[in-house]
Amino acid sequence: MATDVMTAANESTLKAITFAQDQFLKAYKNIASRVPTAMTPVWLMPDPDRSREAIERAFEFQSQLLEARKAFALGLLDVRTADEDDDEPPAPKKATAATKK
């Protein structure tokens, strides 16, 4: 049940973000098409190839980082599951000088 709610919330969030991005992109294209390139300073016009490469590298890194975080989270879950699967109760702690006082 909780998984269904989370999935629905995630899907709704993704739809809202995608819609907002699409609307922004449409507006940006509309505005950009009306501004003559002769009026745009050179320093405001990044090299598209270099920019695309930088974006690709940044998102590739983020994808790798996300996969590493996922593996870590699942690893934590696996440790907890392995602990629960143990049939033997934990061994009693031995008394030490500190605990005898």
Tens of pLDDT along 19-39?
999 999 999 999 988 888 777
Alpha-carbon distance 27 to 35, whole Å?
Answer: 13
Q: How confident is the model at residue 5 (pLDDT cuts 50, 70, 90)?
A: very high
pTM of the shown model: 0.59
The dihedrals phi and psi of 36, each to the nearest 5 degrees, come to -65, 140
Residue-wise pLDDT tens digits, 73-85: 999 998 876 666 6
pLDDT higher than threshold 90 for residue 72: yes
Report the pLDDT value the prediction gives residue 79, as an integer from 0 to 100.
Answer: 87
More confident residue, 88 or 3: 3
> Which of 25, 43, 23, 21 lies closest to 33 in space, CA to CA?
25
Which candidate, 30, 29, 27, 8, places its Cα nearest to that of 19? 27
Q: How far apart are CA 15 and CA 9, in angstroms?
A: 10
Annotated domain spans of the chain: 1-40, 46-86
pLDDT digit string, tens, across residues 38-66: 777 777 778 889 999 999 999 999 999 99
Question: Residue 101: what pLDDT?
Answer: 47
